[in-house]
Structure 1
Amino acid sequence: MRMIINKTLTVAVALLGHAALLYGLTTMSSSPKKPEQVVMLLAPAPIPMGEDVPPSPAAKPRVLTPAAKPMPARPAAPAVIKKISPAEAPIQQATGQMDAAVAVAAAAPAPAAPAESAAVAAGSKSSKQLSDEAPVTSPLFNAAYLANPRPAYPSQSMALGEKGRVLLRVKVSEAGLPLEIELAHSSGYRRLDDAAKKAVERWKFVPGRRGDTAIVMSAMVPVDFVI
């Protein structure tokens, strides 16, 4: 019986110790109280009144510069009038007339010498006559060294028996190349006319000349189609 009582007391003491330990832990873990906020009101600085107000700085006096005095105008020099005596008047009048005559003679162009003008006219006339009288050579298309091929005979025209002469007007450049080709006279068949134009477009010519200068000139070129 006594042992049971001792065990019960031991358990009770242990429980009390545990309870005390839990209470201590609970008390320590609780958050501390927040400090109270203290509000302090600061009084504003006193505003000086009456005689204590510092005086404002006095405005500086404005200095006015005196205006510049206008310069007095200088009096104009009196015109000098020279009196001409009756004896000097005819001399001055004659001198003025001579100066006017000299000025007119200087302004007028000098007449060309008749011999020089005649020589210039003769020279220009002779050069123009020489240029007009220079021999003119028509363009050539049938020179052997040109080797211009004959136009191809259209097969359909040959089968139908179409034949004839096509006459073309060809404008030849200074280099001997055809510039323009016009149909001056038709063969009566469009196929033959077109074949002649296509062939002459590839031809080369000896250009026309006036004297020793090559010029642009037109030439009549006949093309015959014969079966």
Structure 2
Amino acid sequence: MTKPLPLALFGHPSMARRAWPLALIVALHIGFFLLLRDGLLNRIVPELPSTIVTAIIFPPAEPPARPVAASPAPKPPGPAVRTIIKPRPAVRRTPPVVMPPDAAPVSAAPAPSPIAELPPAAAPAPAVPPQPAARPVHRATVTSGVQYVRPPRPDYPAQSKRIGEEGRVVLRVLVNEKGEAERVEIQTSSGHARLDEAAREAVQHAQFRPHMEDGEPVTVFAIVPITFRLDQ
């Protein structure tokens, strides 16, 4: 509570009554200042929350640009065609020859006709000696009396011996001028393939004596029999 000021301070009672309101106003200001300093005013008057509204305005999307059609590239100019005009040859005019009135016209002598050259005579063709008559191919067939330089020696197959195979093979052999067997054919089989093949192999490696006709060897067919027997 504020103490009353002494009257001596103001000097007169009327002045004291005028000074009381002024002193009260000053005291209120001082008290309000103290409240502000101590933060009591912030406690009495709560702060109102402030709301900030932000509006974002996007610009309208631009429509996609239409593709511009590419104009075709201009064609390169072709090579310039140069027209060459050949000058026409100048025609030389021969002045006419004026013959004197007294001179008789001279007739040109006829040119001698060229002598035709005769082609050289063809050389006579050389005489072709007469060819000897082709000797007919004669292939006789020798059925007996076949002579050998190296006779055939057939090997009896072991399997045929084991199972008791026997037989006679007749072969037709083409014998050339050297006495070699060019071709061997089975004319009559023994009934056993192993025996037939053994006989053919033996005759193929045999050496024959060439067959002679008129003093010359000729190719002939020879008939060769081969017999397989277990008791031999």
Q: Which has the higher helix share?
A: 1
**TM-score normalized by the length of structure 1:** 0.39
**TM-score normalized by the length of structure 2:** 0.39
The structure number with the bigger radius of gyration is: 2
